[in-house]
Each structure stands twice: as C-alpha cells, then as structure tokens.
Amino acid sequence: MKLAFHLTIVALVWCGPAESAFAHPCGHHNNEHGCVACDHGGPAWRQLNRQSGYSSANLKTVSGKILEIVYLPGDGPDTGMVDLRIQTGAGPGLVRLAPSGFLRQGGLRLQEGDSVTVKVFTVGAMTGEIMVATEVQGKGAQMRLRGPSGEPLW
C-alpha cells in the first residue's frame, strides 16, 4: 500500500497534478512515459496500475450530471485527454475518460448538463482523488474505455 502511494506521488510530481487544461503543466503527450496525470497508458502507467491494486473488485458505478468537460492538451487535436467534472449524490468529482479522438470514434457525444453513468476506479492525486473511467454511458451511447486489467483500449 505504501509503495503504491509513493509511486503515485512520484508520477504526479513528475507530470503534475490532474488539473484543467489551462493548469496542466505536463506538455508532453507522446505516450512514452505513461504518467498518471496524463494517463497515456504507457509502461509506467501499467506498472503503477498493477501496483496500486487495481482489480474489478475496486470498480464502482457513479451517476451524475456533467458540470464541466475539461479538454487537456495533446500532441494533436484528437490526442488530448478528456475529464468530466460531475455532480453526484456524494458531491462533485473528477472523472478521467480517454483521448478526445477515441471518444469521437466511439460515437460518444457528451455535453455539460447531460446525465452520465461511469464505471470507475479511484486513484489518489495531489489535488485529491480522481476517478478513472473504465466504461461511460451517456445520451444513449455506451463505451468501454479500459480492458479487464484497467489498461486503456486506445
């Protein structure tokens, strides 16, 4: 448990906290290092994911209203990550989805004010917790974002 916590802190210090696009300091979206803040899905992310104890037993389903859609920068127009700030019964939360191009290819169209249901696991971040989506459902469309080990499908 301590090891996973320390690895999370190291990854977040390396890349910066998960923030909105204007505050996101990472600036590197080449899918080589796999930092948690950027969630590229590279080798470092997969290693951290295994060590953090991710399992299907850690998944929970969260429903809420989209307060804000945050587009993080990427190398190109379709590579930046998409986060959702949602209002749930337990309060507001931040959900990491996938690159915008992957969501567009899957036909997922979300807007602020929409209701959304996401299957997530939680990762600690410097600014609190972030929920990482494995599936998302909204506006009649459902999309799987991660495989059975939590690895990105993009």
Q: What is the pLDDT of residues 74-92, one digit of tens each?
A: 988 899 999 999 999 999 9
Residue with tokens 């906290």: 17
Residue 24 lies in a domain: yes
If one counts the domains in the chain, the total is 1
Residue 154 lies in a domain: no
Residue 149 lies in a domain: no
Residue 129 lies in a domain: yes
The DSSP code sequence of the chain is -HHHHHHHHHHHHHH-----GGG------SSSS--TTTT---HHHHHHHHHTT--GGG-EEEEEEEEEEEE---SSTTTSEEEEEEEETTEEEEEEEEEHHHHHHTT----TT-EEEEEEEEEEETTEEEEEEEEEEETTEEEE-B-TTS-B--
**The model's pTM:** 0.68
Residue 151 lies in a domain: no
Residue type, 115: S
Question: Which tokens belong to 93?
Answer: 């939360």
Residue 115 lies in a domain: yes
Q: What is the pLDDT of residues 1-40, one digit of tens each?
A: 444 443 343 344 334 443 333 333 344 333 333 344 444 4
Q: What is the CATH number for 93?
A: 2.40.50.140
**Range of 93's domain?**
2-144
